Chain A
């Protein structure tokens, strides 16, 4: 008898077909039977079951790509017969039977003996985790494990395709009834069984067909799938699972149950709504999809059936508007009533991939409350099942235990840190308590973060007030200077206090400015080389003298404290001198790129450098007439020269006044960086001296800069990365090496004798990516010890390649920070020698506890408020510290932890700080917070907001960047809030797509953008677009998978090292992405196109048409492979159809398979085979 499958069965069959070794779709029943077991009666009862339930006699065969259920006829069992015993006659024509199956394809009784419960557990676990062959026989195993004469374990294992959770109850009840009847010598009395699985499958096929439009509408435009945690890896599917349980006490459970009844709904709806809140509070999403399972046995005739009747359906929670929980519960109730009454539809029929529609599941098991039926004279109890398969990234189940609830979180510990799941579970517990305590609380205000979470938030936030946050131990001093001599510190403290340490603590009080720090370096190393530019170089003494001369000239020209002076010079020693000169004159510099067009220059000067009605100053070789242009070679005239004042200028200072350098006040402006604003007007970020000083001091220490270092100056001065290159170097007495012929000449410099001594490179990430792609052709300087990256998301593949080349020999640091927080705000070490002080860089970690009693640094206690930490908090912090030491996992590259004098919080939409796992906006406080946007009060007030965690009156900067603390205490960057593009009506974050691409091992660089109706991906590396499409297809909704792909050798970069969007090639011409209709060109393409046309019902299929775009889905893919097999004799894996989505690609894959097969054949066989191909 051959019958069609139900749609849900078809789906499982397909999953099995694609991955026959996957054992995750297994259901099982494990019971311990104590007492005198009558084995013959058990065999007989089993035979009764097989005769009664068609599912236990059904195997699944494939005919032309279509699965069919084939049930062997029932053989009525006779009392005392033992149909399962070896040697019993089988039906003719049945397939060879593996162990534990008899020849009629129905389960036999496997008998084993175990020495003790442990061995029995192992035997059970083996069986529960072993896959089935669906075609070979009924996918069921029954094992009886003898522990003692009166102590057995019965293990019943079935593939989900023939049984669901309710079926197990039916099986146990029927088995118990049959066994008891046989023991007692009477006929079993079983309920009538009017419907068999094949009847159900036919009925269900019709119902599902009608439900497809409902689900397609319901689940259209799904949000991008987000989980409430960071993954340790991105490139693996869930494997073996682990479970974490929490117990919800009777009082809370009772309250929740009462709430359900009061609102005329079920505990399931309450828990589902709470679970959606849990997810939403972590992801920030208000549109939440959660899968669940329903028994589907709402008709009485289905109750006694063994079969796959349960449905998986997706509930879509609308959490918008921060409703009271009770209101959300009302929405969930309505949603559940509507959705749960409909048959589930195989996800393939809905469209978006499963991971998108159902990133996680929540199930409430309603245990059979009725008394267990008699099982002869045996006492029946549970027994460990050892099941460890994961179907989902996160499967949460709840069940009653007395008047309490147990909630279990099933996850893959290889993908999620166990601490992460433990925290998530604790948060769910707390959330349920808060709901029980105040069900009408708005959902965003329900308590969810535990005391441990709050302790971790404080620990991670960093300290925005102190600098350095904690005085390092004297023993760490040698790490900072190359030569390790305390005298190398060019801090004023060191020079004023011979023999005293710069780290003595005076630093935090005195806050010397960068010009003062450089002046100190000049005193310490007057004859050391300060700046190298091609063949020229200047010593520290010469540099400073030049800056003082120009400063005097500036003062004589009328430049005053508080003025803003444009600097527009090519890469040259004069440019560096000019920056210092502006500071010595008491002003702030506005660096402008000489390569920018004149209009931009004039606009920047007029908008950002003009003070009142005085014309703006500009240090340049030439410049617009509207500005006062000062040549960098200009020096103050001799004292007796009469001073002339340009018209409109304030009275210049006297010569004597002019030559005295101005000591900047910490709150004075240091520089203004012009960024492009959305209005077209330049937006000037004004940074104060105290911010620059805090950053420069931290960088000099953290990067360990000393007089032996040679640091390249790569960044354009108009970009604030120059601050990180120029000033820490000059403060340290090191040499700054310029690139006079442009940043692009860096490889030439490195290859030259002058380049061999380079010790530090500070590079835009995109440029470094490009260098790493050519890692073998670059002359990496032998002295290189540190590479600093910043500006874009780092590719994990590039880090891997870097480590393969350099191991931990060269330190690699990723940095993150907007201009508004002074160059950088966070850093992450990606490679390099183990650095004990790296953990302590934010100043709040003392490293691993040295004594049994954990002692905390002073400010940790301060931050904790009372200074007392609870056990829970201590445990959380301890665990965090342990994880912090762990290396970079595969997947997203982190941006790290706050730098010194900086606090970082990830905030939810209400401005509340979030713990690890939750996504929010990155907000930065501390010494680096800029003054604001020049002349833009509203913009400044919106972005620079009160900082409740800083000193009184402090402000912090809202970055607009999405981020999350990872379990290891480092931040990951998740794109921008306002970076969305719209493609065909879908809101898309290109950064999200890019980050998934960059996590792929064969991608070097990636850039995603919208062009018209297409989402375009530009990638470098070896991965084929088809492969990447399949990679993304498994992770993201269809609308987030780029439709056009352009593979480039390298991405074009701007002179600043950012991706040059304007220079990206037009995808239409550059790629074979989506071409116009091209008729199939080869025999193989014609073959594939013909099969598609026939299976998809499409008349004209072109060589570049996409299987899924033509309406294909995974169930159809099996038919494609079956047709290909029929036409060519080739076994084409279904995965091949998914991975090669165009006719051309699939045809090539088929040809490759053919070549492979031919090479394994004799000539005669090959000729015969070729004769069959068209």
Chain B
């Protein structure tokens, strides 16, 4: 997972990760729109993913 541009992806539990820009997204994941070199994607995630709890856990325990 080193080559090529990546994009920031997120699943239904609002967990973030990265995926190759030129590849089909795995089921259950959607692109956030942010795209770039791997490290830039990770830096972006660091700013937007502030609560690492899955959405379902967040909803049950405010």
**Residues of A contacting B9 in the complex (Cβ-Cβ under 8 angstroms):** 946
Residues from chain A with Cβ under 8 Å of B17 in the complex: 941, 944-946, 955
CB of B17 to closest CB in A, whole Å: 5
CB of A958 within 8 Å of the partner chain: yes
Greatest chain B CB density within 10 A among A948, A953, A958 is at: A953
Centre residue among A909, A911, A948 by max chain B CB count within 10 A: A948
A667 to B8, CA, bound (A): 24
Pairwise interchain contact A938-B2, C-beta atoms closer than 8 A: no
Cross-chain contact B27 with A937 (CB below 8 angstroms): no
Within 8 A of A (CB), among B22-54: 25-29, 38, 41-43, 45-46, 49-50, 52-54
- Which residue of A938, A940, A942, A958 has the most chain B CB atoms within 10 A of its CB atom? A938
Asked if A562 and B61 sit within 8 Å, CB to CB, the answer is yes
Contact A562 B57 (CB under 8 A): yes
Are B56 and A667 closer than 8 Å at their CB atoms?
yes
Inter-subunit contact A946/B60 (CB<8 Å): no
CB neighbours (8 Å) of A665 from chain B are 57, 60
Across the interface, do B2 and A941 meet the contact criterion of CB distance under 8 Å? no
Please tell me if the beta carbons of A953 and B29 are within 8 angstroms of each other in the complex: yes
Beta-carbon contact of B61 and A953 below 8 Å: no
Take A941-B45, A941-B49, A953-B13 as given contacts and tell me if A946 and B26 are in contact as well, using a CB distance cutoff of 8 Å.
yes
A947 with B49: CB separation less than 8 A: no
Q: Within residues 902 to 926 of chain A, which ones have a CB less than 8 A from any CB in chain B?
A: 909-911
B19 touches A937 (CB 8 A): no
Do B2 and A909 touch (CB < 8 A)?
A: yes
By a CB distance below 8 angstroms, the chain A residues around B43 are: 938
Out of A561, A945, A947, which one reaches B61, CB within 8 Å? A561
CA gap between A1172 and B8 in the complex, in Å: 81
Instruction: Check: A322 CB closer than 8 A to any chain B CB.
Output: yes
State whether the Cβ of A952 lies closer than 8 Å to any Cβ in chain B: yes
For residue B18, which residues in chain A have a CB less than 8 angstroms away from its CB?
Answer: 941-942, 945
How far apart sit A70 and B14, CA to CA, in the bound complex (Å)?
A: 82
Binds B, one of A127-135, A204-212, A819-827, A928-936: A928-936
Q: Chain B contacts of A958 at CB under 8 A?
A: 1
Q: Are B57 and A937 in contact (CB under 8 A)?
A: no
Residues of B within 8 A of A946 (CB): 9, 11, 17, 19, 25-26, 28-29
What's the least CB distance linking A610 to chain B, in Å? Answer: 15
Chain A interface SS verdict (over half): loop
> B28 and A941: CB pair below 8 A?
no
Neighbouring B residues of A932 by C-beta, 8 Å? 15, 52
CA distance A931 to B13 in the complex (A): 11
Whole-angstrom CA separation of A944 from B16 in the bound complex: 9
Measured between alpha carbons, how far is A945 from B9 in the docked complex, in Å?
9
Q: Is A370 close to B, CB under 8 A?
A: no
Shortest distance in angstroms between B30's beta carbon and chain A's nearest beta carbon? 10
B52 touches A937 (CB 8 A): yes
- Cross-chain contact B25 with A909 (CB below 8 angstroms): no
Q: How far is the CA of A714 from the CA of B12 in the complex (A)?
A: 40
Chain B residues, Cβ within 8 Å of A910? 1, 3
| Closest-CB distance, B49 to chain A (whole angstroms) | 4
Q: Which residues of A contact B54 (CB under 8 A)?
A: 667, 931
Q: Is A475 among interface residues, defined by CB-CB distance under 8 A?
A: no
**Is A911 within 8 A of B11, CB to CB?**
no
Q: Decide yes or no: A941 and B11 within 8 Å by CB, A562-B57, A954-B28 being known contacts.
A: no
- Chain A residues within an 8 Å CB radius of B13: 953
Our pick among B1, B50, B57 for the contact of A945 (Cβ within 8 Å) is: B1
Contacts of B20 in A (CB 8 A): 911
- Residue pair A937, B12 in contact (C-beta under 8 Å): no
Min Cβ gap A302→B in Å is 47
Contact A937 B3, beta carbon cutoff 8 Å: no
Cβ–Cβ < 8 Å partners of A948 in chain B:
26-27
- Of A910, A932, A942, A946, most buried by chain B (CB within 10 Å of CB) is A946
CA distance A934 to B54 in the complex (A): 12
Instruction: Select A955's contact among B1, B15, B45, beta carbons within 8 Å.
Output: B15
Q: How far is the CB of B36 from chain A (nearest CB, A)?
A: 14
Docked Cα-Cα span, A667 to B46, in Å, equals: 22
Q: Are B42 and A953 in contact (CB under 8 A)?
A: no
Q: Which of A933-985 contact B (CB under 8 A)?
A: 933-938, 940-942, 944-948, 951-955, 958
Given the interface pairs A909-B3, A934-B52, A947-B26, the reply to whether A942 lies near B11 with Cβ below 8 Å is no
A941 CA to B41 CA, complexed, in Å: 9
Q: How far is the CA of A667 from the CA of B1 in the complex (A)?
A: 28
In the complex, chain A residues 876-922 whose Cβ is within 8 Å of any chain B Cβ = 909-911
CB nearest to A909 among chain B residues: B2
Q: Which of A686, A942, A955 contacts B42 (CB 8 A)?
A: A942
B1 touches A953 (CB 8 A): no
Closest chain B residue, CB of each to CB of A946: B26
A938 to B16 alpha-carbon distance, docked (Å): 9
Chain B residues within an 8 Å CB radius of A942? 18, 38, 42
What is the CA–CA distance of A1006 and B18 in the complex, to the nearest angstrom? Answer: 38
Complex CA gap A937/B8 in Å reads: 12
Q: Given A562-B57, A946-B11, A955-B11, is A937 in contact with B29 using a C-beta cutoff of 8 Å?
A: no
A668 at the interface (CB under 8 A from B): yes
Smallest distance from the beta carbon of A260 to chain B beta carbons, Å? 29
Q: CB distance A937 to B45 under 8 Å?
A: yes
Which A residues touch B25, using CB under 8 A? 946
Which residues of chain A have C-beta atoms less than 8 A from B56's C-beta? 667
Cβ contacts under 8 Å, A561 to chain B: 60-61
Decide if A953 touches B46 in the complex (CB within 8 Å).
Answer: no
Contacting residues of chain A (541-580) with chain B, CB-CB under 8 angstroms: 560-562
Chain B residues, Cβ within 8 Å of A951:
28
| Residues in A neighbouring B12, C-beta threshold 8 A | 952-953
Q: Mark A693-717, 1 if CB is under 8 A from B, else 0.
A: 0000000000000000000000000
- The reply to whether B15 and A944 form a contact with Cβ atoms under 8 Å apart is yes
Q: A946-B9, A948-B26 are in contact. Are A909 and B1 (CB under 8 A)?
A: yes
Q: Are A667 and B11 in contact (CB under 8 A)?
A: no
Measured in the bound complex, the distance between the Cα atoms of B13 and A1136 in whole Å is 66
Residue ID in chain B nearest A954 by CB atoms:
B28
CB A93 to nearest CB in B, in angstroms, measures 69
Q: Which residues from chain B contact A667 at a C-beta distance below 8 Å?
A: 54, 56-57
Q: Are B61 and A941 in contact (CB under 8 A)?
A: no
Decide: A938 and B46 in contact? CB cutoff 8 A.
yes
Q: A940–B19 Cα gap in the complex (Å)?
A: 14
CB neighbours of B8 from chain A (8 A)? 941
Q: A909-B3, A946-B9, A946-B25 are in contact. Are A938 and B42 (CB under 8 A)?
A: yes
Tell me the smallest distance from the CB of B41 to a CB of chain A, in Å.
8
- For residue A940, which residues in chain B have a CB less than 8 angstroms away from its CB? 16, 49, 52
A935 to B52, CA, bound (A): 7
Q: Which residues of A contact B46 (CB under 8 A)?
A: 937-938
Q: Is the CB of B16 within 8 A of A941?
A: yes
For B2, list chain A residues within 8 Å (CB): 909
Q: Give the complex CA separation of A938 and B54 in angstroms.
A: 15
Contact assessment for A941 and B42 in the assembled complex, using a CB-CB cutoff below 8 Å: yes
Contact A938 B45 (CB under 8 A): yes
Compute how far the CA of A958 lies from the CA of B17 in the bound complex, rounded to whole angstroms: 12
Complex Cα–Cα for A660 and B60 (A): 18
Contacts of B53 in A (CB 8 A): 562, 931
Picked from B27, B50, B57, the residue with its CB within 8 Å of the CB of A952 is B27
**With the chains together, A266 CA to B12 CA distance in Å?**
54
On chain B, the residues within 8 Å of A686 by CB distance are 52
21 pairs of residues in contact across A and B, judged by CB atoms under 8 Å: A561-B61, A562-B61, A667-B54, A667-B57, A909-B1, A909-B3, A931-B52, A932-B52, A937-B46, A941-B8, A941-B17, A941-B49, A945-B18, A946-B25, A946-B26, A947-B26, A948-B27, A951-B28, A952-B29, A953-B15, A955-B11
Interface residues of B (CB under 8 A from A): 1-3, 8-9, 11-13, 15-20, 25-29, 38, 41-43, 45-46, 49-50, 52-54, 56-57, 60-61
Other contacts beyond A561-B61, A934-B52: 8, CB < 8 A? A909-B2, A911-B1, A937-B52, A941-B42, A942-B38, A948-B26, A953-B13, A954-B11
**The 6 nearest A-B residue pairs measured at CB:** A952-B28, A953-B28, A953-B11, A948-B26, A937-B49, A938-B46
